[in-house]
Amino acid sequence: MKEKINTLDFLKNNLKMITNKVPFEVNLALAEGAKWFEQSEAYELLTSSLNNGVTWRVLINASEEKGKWKELCEAFPHELIVKECDTPLLHIYHSVKLFNEETREDEGVAYVKFPAFDKSGALIVAGDELYDSEDEGYEIFDDEFEYLWEIGKEL
Question: Does the pLDDT value for residue 148 go beyond 90?
Answer: yes
The pLDDT value given to residue 89: 82
**Structure confidence by residue, pLDDT tens digits, 35-80:** 888 888 999 999 998 998 888 999 998 776 788 999 999 999 999 9
pTM equals 0.85
* Contacts for 112 with CB less than 8 Å, ≥ 6 apart: 91, 92, 93, 94, 128, 129, 131, 137, 141
The chain-wide mean pLDDT, for the chain, equals: 85
Confidence bin at 90 (pLDDT 50/70/90): confident
45, 46, 50, 53: CA torsion to nearest 10: 60
Better-scored residue on pLDDT, 145 or 89: 145
Quick check: is 81 in a domain?
A: yes
Quick check: is 1 in a domain?
A: no
Range of the domain at 116: 7-125
The pLDDT value given to residue 2: 58
The pLDDT value given to residue 104: 67
Better-scored residue on pLDDT, 43 or 100: 43
**What are the phi and psi torsion angles at 133 (to 5°)?**
-65, -10
Percent share of the chain, pLDDT over 90: 34
Total domains in the chain come to: 1
Quick check: is 16 in a domain?
A: yes
Quick check: is 137 in a domain?
A: no
Quick check: is 140 in a domain?
A: no
Quick check: is 139 in a domain?
A: no
The pLDDT value given to residue 1: 46
Q: What is the CATH number of the domain that holds 53?
A: 3.30.870
- E strands within the chain? 24-30, 55-61, 80-85, 92-100, 105-117, 123-132, 153-154
